[in-house]
Amino acid sequence: MSGDRRVKRRDDEEVRRHAQNSKVDYRVDHIYPANILRVLRSGSVQTLYGRKKLILKVVEDEELGTVDAKTDFSADTVTVTCKRCVEERAMVGVGRDRMTLAHELGHAVMHSRAAAFRHTGAAGATSISAVNPYESAEHQAKVFASAFLIHDREAAGMTAKEISEHFGVSIEAAELCFKRLLKKAERARSAERVLKMMEEVKARLRISEPKQRSYLDEICIVCSQKTLVPNGNANASCDTCGFNGPRFQDGDKAA
């Protein structure tokens, strides 16, 4: 179960752009694994609705019950509340708990109004994300969390296990990232192959194109057009009228 709700439509690429902007804002775009607890304790967050005060509250596990973490909104403040066990596991690098906290940061950056929360053990699609993931608050936060903690450039070429270890994320998130980067690389290779084929076709066309005719600086004695091509000795042929015979000699005039 998950506290999902419908929000403004944002596709995965847009969500990843917001995550990248947040990484730059917190100066962790070249640092991994990013210290998500330090980010949440920074005191502020640049949201899509302006910069707001950011508060991280850590409470005893019993207080949240089946919820691992939640995000609440007010006019000028975003409050992320998490279980103490989530904080403790995130501190020692447990991937799922780091993802949980980055997930809440995604809510803080992109969403507003109603509280958003993540249940203990929540995984897979919700009733909203299964039908329309781009309008699902939980799907958007999930994509944001992965994009915030994983740097695509450094992850390219890594295995899912290596991504999980290097960036401190869950193996599930690492596998999804690995598959996405694999598809991206294959699309790039396909585009490169298509571009190479196009260049080869262009080259063949240039070779097969007839060379531009070079005409004499004389007029045809039949049609008076400057379309004469040398045709041995003093003869010429005309591309305009088809004449084939002697070129003008000194003093000749067109009939």
User: Are the beta carbons of 103 and 90 closer than 8 angstroms?
Assistant: no
| Residue 46 near residue 25, CB atoms below 8 Å | yes
CA distance 165 to 168: 5
For residue 144, the model assigns a pLDDT of 96
Cβ-proximal residues to 161 (8 Å cutoff; 6+ apart), any chain: 171, 174
Give the 3-state secondary structure of residue 249: coil
Report the residue count for the chain: 255
User: Which strand ranges, in their side-by-side order, compose the sheet holding 228-230?
Assistant: 228-230, 235-238, 244-246
Q: For 48-64, give one letter per residue: b (16+ CB within 10 A) or e.
A: eeeebebbbebeeeeeb
pTM attached to this predicted model: 0.69
CA 188 to chain centre: 12
Where do the DSSP E strands lie in the chain?
A: 44-47, 50-59, 67-73, 77-83, 116-119, 228-230, 235-238, 244-246
**Mean pLDDT across the chain:** 86
- pLDDT of 119 reads 56
Q: Which two tokens stand for residue 49?
A: 């609705």
Per-residue model confidence (pLDDT) at position 67:
93
| Residue-by-residue pLDDT tens, the chain, 255 positions | 357 888 999 999 999 999 999 999 999 999 889 999 999 999 999 999 999 999 999 999 999 999 999 999 998 999 999 999 999 999 999 999 999 999 999 999 999 876 655 555 555 555 665 668 889 999 999 999 999 999 998 999 899 999 999 999 999 999 999 998 988 888 777 777 777 777 777 777 766 666 667 788 888 888 888 888 888 777 888 888 888 888 765 445 444
Q: Which residues lie below 8 Å from residue 144, measured CB to CB, with a gap of 6+?
A: 15, 16, 18, 19, 22, 102, 103, 105, 106, 109, 110
Is residue 22 within 8 Å of residue 85, measured between CB atoms?
Answer: no
Cβ atoms < 10 Å from Cβ of 166 = 16
Read off the amino acid at residue 124.
Answer: G
* Structure tokens belonging to residue 91: 């501190």
pLDDT at 1: 38
Write the burial class of residue 65 (CB in 10 Å: 0-12 exposed, 13-18 middle, 19+ buried).
exposed
